[in-house]
Amino acid sequence: MHTLETLPFDNAFARLPSTFYTRLAPEPLPRPYLVAASAEVAGLIGLDPAELTRPEFPQIFAGNQLLPGSEPLAAVYSGHQFGMWAGQLGDGRAHLLGEIAGPGRGWEIQLKGAGQTPYSRFADGRAVLRSSIREYLCSEAMAALGIPTTRALCVVGSDAPVRRETIETAAVVTRLAPSFIRFGSFEHWRATRQMDTLRQLADYVIDRFRPECRDAATPYDALLRDVGRRTGELIAHWQAVGFMHGVMNTDNMSILGLTLDYGPFGFMDTFDAGHICNHSDDHGRYSYKSQPQIGHWNLYALGRALAPLIGEQGAVQAAIEESYAPAFERHFMDLMRAKLGLTQALPGDEDFIGETFGLLQDHHPDYTQFFRQLGRLPAQVDEAGRVAADAPLRDLFIDRAAADAWLGMWRARLGAEARPDAERQATMQAVNPKYVLRNWIAESAIRAARSGDYSEVHAVHACLSRPFDEQPEYERFAAPPPEWAAGLAVSCSS
């Protein structure tokens, strides 16, 4: 177990040429205090959980004291924002401290909100308490759901004012990931026609994270296929759990296929395929139903960037078409079958899953509750007991007849597989979360935190670290939005 002083830094990204970044120290934040910290994430880097309670901890993760061995830097990248080329962006408010060598893979540690960098453009380099708590809670909730994501070690707050739509207070969230390299990191070197640098970045990613691509006949082609497959699987997972990222710009797309840059994300409450979780997304480019095609679009942006390394355009197109959509479809079907309690792939499953989304779209039940309650129903019912047995699911519908008709189809499909009820119900509860980070839950934790009470942040974190378990003490977090939350809106402002 390490102390803060003995964390074994080995900063591979900082050993790349200085064209990739600017070295600079974080900007101090006055009187930082700890809002929340994760012992589990500390464990990923071998940090003794007792270290989280040291007085130095908030100073270090506010950026006021440097960890020995760290070499802080901000990386440059570019990207497409809302479908338009945005040119150079970069870590405008992120400081990469370095990488902790681990027994398996290393973990990079990054402060988000620790002040301006050469890539801040006209912004202040800060993050607010609200968005930092959202990123912290959602990173950890996604990890517990089994969805690839960057992790969050802690949130440190300060009373320093930060101007957004209103005056808020500053915070820093500390993130961990094997790498924060984005699609936009590659687009940057392609757009500035620096092909040697582009190749160097691709080699770095392959050598460090995807050594199997090196053995392929065409390594860069293999890398694009790897990203295509992982991105397809990632977005399949988002769709299955009802997660909307909100800002799928290419600068927010991880080259490792992780969920990256939590902003105006949302989890589906009452189902609506057209739901737009980002209030600033006027045209719904990043609506729930658009996410799969946006993933595809983003891969083409990456493919154009990698094209000089891969060769002809035909090869780029083949790499994307043979990786992304097949991976998405395969993974999405597998995840949906599991959510429905089905183990075998049978002809007609696509139609049945389509019918299921049709039912959800027509009747708007709560998405999370729909699957959770379905997992409680028996495979067989007699007519006399049916209404009582099906009540957990039927009660989510105003039109009970529509639910009954669909349940008839579901039972017919279940009948094609013989599995004991108890076993099927247990496996369904293990894939259909009871608890997700609904906006209203994040908001209520944020409101308490603003008045200095962090207990709700800790409670939400604890609850969402076991999203599939019944937790009677947190029953309140399983509820759909209460009336006060009806008008909640989240925007790009963070």
Q: Does residue 298 interact with Mg ion by CB under 5 A?
A: no
Based on the number of CB atoms within 10 Å of its own CB, is 486 exposed (0-12), middle (13-18) or buried (19 or more)? Answer: exposed
Find the binder of ligand AMP among 93, 130, 151, 285 (CB under 6 A): 93
Which stretch, 214-222, 258-266, 315-323, 401-409, contacts Mg ion (CB under 5 A)?
Answer: 258-266
CA distance 482 to 320: 43
Q: What number of chain residues touch ligand AMP (CB under 6 A)?
A: 17
- 261 or 390: CB nearest Mg ion: 261
Q: What is the largest CA-CA distance in the chain?
A: 74
CB 280 within 8 A of CB 264: yes
Please provide residue 451's backbone torsions phi and psi, each rounded to the nearest 5 degrees: -100, 15
Nearest distance, CB of residue 94 and ligand AMP, angstroms: 6
Q: Does residue 261 interact with Mg ion by CB under 5 A?
A: yes
Nearest distance, CB of residue 240 and Mg ion, angstroms: 24
Nearest distance, CB of residue 121 and Mg ion, angstroms: 13
Q: Does residue 145 interact with ligand AMP by CB under 6 A?
A: no
Q: Does residue 123 interact with ligand AMP by CB under 6 A?
A: yes
Q: Does residue 126 interact with ligand AMP by CB under 6 A?
A: yes
Helical residues (DSSP H) of 34-128, grouped into ranges: 39-44, 56-61
CA distance 278 to 434: 24
The DSSP element (H or E) to which 302 belongs, if any, is helix 291-310
Q: Which does 178 bind (CB under 5 to 8 A by kind): Mg ion, ligand AMP, none?
A: none
CB atoms near residue 236 (< 10 Å): 23
How far is residue 324 from each of residues 236, 264, 292, 462, measured CA to CA in Å? Answer: 10, 25, 9, 34
Q: Does residue 63 interact with ligand AMP by CB under 6 A?
A: no
| 251 noted as active-site residue | yes
Q: Does residue 252 interact with Mg ion by CB under 5 A?
A: yes
CB atoms near residue 423 (< 10 Å): 11
Helix axes 400-414, 383-394, angle to 10 degrees: 110
Find the binder of ligand AMP among 28, 46, 49, 92 (CB under 6 A): 92
Catalytic residue (choose from 91, 221, 226, 251): 251
Q: Which does 126 bind (CB under 5 to 8 A by kind): ligand AMP, Mg ion, none?
A: ligand AMP
Find the binder of ligand AMP among 89, 253, 305, 336 (CB under 6 A): 89
Nearest distance, CB of residue 472 and Mg ion, angstroms: 38
Q: Which does 263 bind (CB under 5 to 8 A by kind): Mg ion, ligand AMP, none?
A: ligand AMP
- 89 or 306: CB nearest Mg ion: 89
Q: Does residue 184 interact with ligand AMP by CB under 6 A?
A: no
The residue count for the chain: 494
Which residue matches tokens 């994040």? 442
Residues 211-270 that bind ligand AMP (CB under 6 A): 247, 251-252, 261, 263
Beta bridge partner(s), residue 88:
78
- 102 or 118: CB nearest ligand AMP: 118
Structure-block tokens of residue 229: 């497959």
Q: Identify the sign of the CA torsion 477, 265, 450, 67.
A: positive
CA distance 150 to 128: 19
- 265 or 410: CB nearest Mg ion: 265
Which stretch, 116-124, 319-327, 336-344, 427-435, contacts ligand AMP (CB under 6 A)?
Answer: 116-124
- As annotated, the active-site residues are 251
Q: What are the residues binding ligand AMP (CB under 6 A)?
A: 89-93, 119-120, 123-126, 247, 251-252, 261, 263, 492
